[in-house]
Amino acid sequence: MVQQFKVLINGEWKDSSTGEKLDIVNPATGEIIGQAPKCSEIEVNEAVAAAAKAAPAWAGMPMSERSKLLLASSRLIMENIEELAKLETLEQGSPIRKTMNFDVPLCAEQLEYFAGTARAIKGETLPVGPWCLSSTVREPLGVVGLITPWNFPALMVIWKLGAALVTGNTCIVKPPSTAPLTTLKLGEIMMEAGIPAGVVNVITGPGSQVGEALVQHPDVAKIGFTGDTATGKRIMKLASDTVKQVGLELGGKNAFVVLEDADVDAAVEGAIFGGFFNSGQVCAAASRFYIHESVYDEFADKYVKAAKKLKYGDTMNMETVIGPVAYKAHRDTVESYIESAKKDGATLLLGGKRPTTKETKNGYFVAPTIFGDCNNNMKMMREEIFGPVVGLAKFKTNEEVVELVNDSPFGLSASVWTKNARLGITLANQIKAGTVWINEHLIIFCETPWGGCKESGWGKDLSTMVFDEYTKVKHIYVDLNEGPEKPWYGILK
């Protein structure tokens, strides 16, 4: 029997006014595992009204109390780790090994981080002069809309929701249509933790209807969005009508640079994780590799051998490390890039075919795929594939590789692999990206800011910088002079 889910509005679980449903499909098997309401503008309006009503009391609550509620939510997440991990695996396809050991624990950890660091937020006293007290305070924005992606359904919600809540905002979350179930469970957990009705609302439905209605609503002060660049551009246009703030964490086409003095074995290990973690469905995934010509053959050989060992198949098996991509249409898109690379003359070194084992034949699996002899003119080296497909290219000089890395419309992340720390830092300073790792790739901590430049968006998630995204600075000036006369009044006399 297919499990039925409802949306969360003003502390109540509701069906949609349309009566329509979204089928939630397990990408590992192609089977429908649940149904969620297909909401409309009616539910958007109800959720915004509930959030607006709850906003004054939530903003007026002491920071310490909001922090305690986030900590309570964190504890409940860990108490429900098995259910959350299973839901994420079933709806998104990430192996249970990953959701149990990475996604869900990190959700709890991030709420702990936001709860602790937010209590250190402070304003400033400005040294204008002895005749006044001039200071700044931080205030919540109000009602915030959060539109989250399908590649990390739970984690991406917590990245935004935790920071927005602890700073005093009320929220409407629009999770991905293909994978909304963990978000609904997180909403339930936060209600159980004691977060008041209307502070967290979760509505499900198509982005073209629910997402756009949320972006255009005049009572929504900000949209926090993680997703593809085309949708981000659409959100920018729609949000401009009400001049609302927009935070955009968009696509990436991330470079992985191996210099001639690099530890090749270490670089290969980093390339396995950077290229194939979450089946390559990571905005920061390494997808275009630039290998110095002197170590290219060694790197390519070792990389292919290591990738062959990756186990894909049953996502409920703790030994499985590679799951399917998230939905059928996306698998077809990824496979179109594989065919494009072949036509453009890239050399197929591994994969390139759809797995047809008993465990994979009904799911949306793409085997880890590696192409060699690539160049920056190829479509697969310029566009975000968002799957387990990578391309290797040679370079001769450091000056050349910096040009190759920066020859992209994206600027999310990159990595440089070298034993020369000075050289690594020098190249990192020349690369146009929000994050550059040296001898590492795809490592993101609560304490480190995350966000890119160019068509990878703007704004930051995580670190203390995220609190700037969900607060506004107000200046307060208090005159300390006695009497009505001020020195500058004489200008008009």
Contacts of 72 (CB under 8 A, 6+ apart): 193, 194
Determine the CATH number of domain 254-438: 3.40.309.10
Contacts of 149 (CB under 8 A, 6+ apart): 156, 176, 226, 227
132-185 confidence digits (pLDDT tens): 899 999 999 999 999 999 999 999 999 999 999 999 999 999 999 999 999 999
Asked if the model's pLDDT at residue 489 lies above 80, the reply is no
User: Could you give the CA distance from residue 339 to residue 352 in angstroms, rounded to a whole number?
Assistant: 8
Average pLDDT in the 216-227 region?
97
Tell me the C-alpha to C-alpha distance, in Å, between residue 428 and each of 45, 89, 125, 418, 425.
Answer: 46, 36, 36, 11, 5
Is 264 in contact with 298 (CB distance < 8 Å)?
A: yes
Tell me the C-alpha to C-alpha distance, in Å, between residue 330 and each of 170, 371, 391.
Answer: 33, 20, 19
Asked if the model's pLDDT at residue 483 lies above 80, the reply is no
Domain residue ranges in the chain: 3-250+456-475, 254-438
Contacts of 416 (CB under 8 A, 6+ apart): 257, 259, 424, 427, 428, 431, 436, 437, 438, 439
What per-residue confidence (pLDDT) applies to 481?
82
Residue 171 tokens read as: 């929220």
Q: Which of 37, 60, 41, 38 is nearest to 49 (CA)?
A: 41
Report DSSP state, residue 196.
P
User: Could you give the CA distance from residue 327 to residue 93 in angstroms, rounded to a whole number?
Assistant: 9
What per-residue confidence (pLDDT) applies to 421?
96
Is 174 in contact with 145 (CB distance < 8 Å)?
A: yes
Exposure of 200 by Cβ count < 10 A (0-12 exposed, 13-18 middle, 19+ buried)?
Answer: buried
Q: What is the mean pLDDT of the chain?
A: 96
What per-residue confidence (pLDDT) applies to 363?
97
Q: Which of 225, 221, 229, 183 is nearest to 203 (CA)?
A: 183
Residue 219 tokens read as: 């009572």
Tell me the C-alpha to C-alpha distance, in Å, between residue 139 and each of 54, 117, 123, 148, 449.
Answer: 16, 16, 10, 24, 21
Q: pLDDT band at residue 130, thresholds of 50, 70 and 90?
A: confident
What per-residue confidence (pLDDT) applies to 493?
72
User: Could you give the CA distance from residue 227 to residue 153 in angstroms, rounded to a whole number?
Assistant: 11
What per-residue confidence (pLDDT) applies to 490?
74
Asked if the model's pLDDT at residue 484 lies above 90, the reply is no
Q: pLDDT band at residue 200, thresholds of 50, 70 and 90?
A: very high
As a whole-number percent, the residues of the chain with pLDDT over 70 amount to: 100
Q: pLDDT band at residue 485, thresholds of 50, 70 and 90?
A: confident
Q: Is 473 helix (H, G, I), strand (E, B) or coil?
A: strand
CATH H superfamily, domain 3-250+456-475: Aldehyde Dehydrogenase; Chain A, domain 1 (3.40.605.10)
Quickly list H helices, 254-379.
264-276, 296-308, 328-343
Asked if the model's pLDDT at residue 376 lies above 90, the reply is yes
463-480 confidence digits (pLDDT tens): 999 999 999 999 999 998
What per-residue confidence (pLDDT) applies to 70?
98
Exposure of 236 by Cβ count < 10 A (0-12 exposed, 13-18 middle, 19+ buried)?
Answer: middle
Tell me the C-alpha to C-alpha distance, in Å, between residue 426 and each of 80, 205, 405, 408, 418.
Answer: 45, 46, 14, 20, 11
Average pLDDT in the 387-409 region?
98
Given CA atoms 271, 275, 278, 282 in this order, what sign does their dihedral have?
positive
Q: Which of 387, 92, 355, 45 is nearest to 216 (CA)?
A: 45
Quickly list H helices, 61-119.
63-79, 81-92, 96-98, 104-117
Active-site residues: which are they?
A: 249, 283
225-243 confidence digits (pLDDT tens): 999 999 999 999 999 999 9
What per-residue confidence (pLDDT) applies to 312?
92
Q: pLDDT band at residue 442, thresholds of 50, 70 and 90?
A: very high
Asked if the model's pLDDT at residue 211 lies above 90, the reply is yes
User: Could you give the CA distance from residue 384 to residue 252 in angstroms, rounded to a whole number?
Assistant: 6
The residue that leads in pLDDT, 249 or 488, is 249
Asked if the model's pLDDT at residue 1 lies above 80, the reply is no
